[in-house]
Each structure stands twice: as C-alpha cells, then as structure tokens.
Amino acid sequence: MVCEAWKEKLDTYLDGELPEEEMRSLDAHVHSCASCSADTLARLQMKRSIQATGKRFAPSADFRRRMQQSMAPKPKLSFRLGWVLATAAVAILVAGALTTSYLGNRSGRDHVYSEIADLHVATLASSSPVDVISTDRHTVKPWFQGKIPFAFNLPELQNTEFTLLGGRMAYVNQTPGAQLIYDVRKHHISVFVFQERSLRTGLDENSLSPKKAPYNMETWSQGGLRYFVIGDASAADIDSLAKLFRAAAS
C-alpha cells in the first residue's frame, strides 16, 4: 500500500478505531516510514492540543452549589384537614425521626471531618511525613498504583504558588486512600482522595469545614471519588488548590 493510502487512515489509527489487523499493519508501516511517522507525530500533537484546549470551561462555584442544592432529597409530606390530630401525632413522630436522622448524618459528617483533620495533624507531626518524596507528580502518582483501588489525576502546578512535597497512604473507615502534601508559602496542605462509596457519610457535594474547625477545609465528590483539601493556609489558597484538582479530574 502506498503512503497516501496509509495517511488516510492515520487519524482513525490514532483514535484506536482501526480493525486489529490494520492497526498492526499500520503500526509496522509507521515505524518504518519516516514521512508517515512524522505525519503521525504531527496529528498526535494536534490531538493533544485539542484535548488540552478543550478542557477549558468549569462550572462556577455558585452554579455547582445551586445544582447540588436542587438535587438534595426532600421528603414529601401530605395533610388532610379531617385528620388534624392524627397528623399532628404523625408529625411529632416524623420530626423525631428526622431529627435523629439529621443528627446521625451530622454525626457521621463530623466524624469524617475530625478524622481528616487528625490525619493531617498526625502527618505534620510525623518524623517522616511522606512515604514517597518527590515534587514530580509523575513520580508520586504511579507510586499509588497497586496500593489503592482507584486512579486519580494530580494537577499541573506550573505558574502556581503550590509545591508538591510527596504522598502517603491514608485510611478512613478502614478504607485505603491517597494523601498528597503540598506547600504554599510555608503552609502545608493535605489533599485526601478516597472512593466516595466507601465513606458513606452523607457528606454534601461541596461541604465546607465546620465553622469552629481550626483548619480550612474543602471537600467535594467528582468521578466517584471524594476529595478533601485541608490545611492552615487561607481559605483562598485551599480553594485554589481544590480548583486545580477539580480541573485535573474533569
């Protein structure tokens, strides 16, 4: 087959959509033909550029919050005038049940918040705060392979004030997860990543830390994973790092 015929298939080849036999043949050809090899490289560069440019728009925090609020489950209650007394009794029971449920959820949330805060403090106090020491996300990310039952993306930190110090394993509710430690103007920030389903805490999509908490914290769920960003840095820094993670995960 002449090169022009191969070149027609290059994009489909790079999309991984050619039949297996053709993939193998074209693969062999690309490795032996300088012209097709250069063309493949150029098209691959184009694909990557479109991919990077295409991930351009992120929903605003306000819009995200509105959507999340709109999706919060609301129990339906119905009333009938002739049943005032019975309804009142039921209402008391319902109120009691709801309060118990709310307190239960809040207790679950607070439990996770304090566990996360404890993990962060324990890390800073440790003589070996990180298990993998590196400022290179391409070193830190692969280190977690085989240690945790999920994969996640680390953000690019170029042109930001954040520095990656390293990572370590973390456990909440007997569930393994990843802890990344970052530095920003001498403040340390921990980012925890766990599988959402394993936490089962009833956390809001975008919960913030309790008002009296000593640390700023931001948490959200994305792609089935629950992220926590916590530290004594300013709320703005916590938010900036959280945004970088959101963008990297989308």
Partner 1 sequence: MFSQGNKSSPHWFNLVRMLWASPQSDSFEELAMPLFDQLYNFAHWLTQNREEAEDLVQETYIKALKGFSSFQPGTNFRAWMYRILRNTFLTSRTGLRATSTVPLDTEADGPELAVEHDSPETILMRLTDSKALQSAIDGLPVHYREILLLCEVEEMSYQEIAESLSIPIGTVMSRLSRARKTLRDVLRLQFQKG
CA atoms of 214 and 19, how far apart (whole Å): 58
Residue 4 or 21 with smaller CB distance to partner 1? 4
What is the binding site for partner 1 (CB under 8 A)? Answer: 3-4, 7-8, 11-12, 15, 17, 35, 39, 42-43, 45-47, 49-60, 63-64, 66-67, 69-76, 205, 221-224, 246, 249-250
Provide the minimum distance between the beta carbon of 175 and partner 1 in the complex, in angstroms, as a whole number.
18
* Residue carrying structure tokens 């962060």: 120
Nearer to partner 1 (CB atom), residue 41 or residue 122: 41
Q: Least distance to partner 1 from the beta carbon of 42, Å?
A: 4
Distances (CA, A) of 82 to 7, 85, 88, 91, 244: 79, 8, 11, 15, 57
Q: Across the chain, which distance is largest between two alpha carbons, in Å?
A: 88
Tell me the residue type at 176: P
Looking at the Cβ atoms of 64 and 147, the one nearer to partner 1 is: 64
Kindly tell me which of 73 and 82 has the beta carbon lying closer to partner 1.
73
HSE-CB at 185 with a 13 A cutoff on CA atoms is: 8
Q: CB of residue 223 vs partner 1: minimum separation in angstroms?
A: 5
**Measured from the CB of residue 56, what is the shortest distance to partner 1 in angstroms?**
7
Q: Which is nearer to partner 1, 145 or 159 (CB)?
A: 159
Tokens of 21: 């036999």
* Least distance to partner 1, CB of residue 133, Å: 31
DSSP sequence for 144-173: TBTTBSS---PPP-TTSS-EEEEEEEEEET
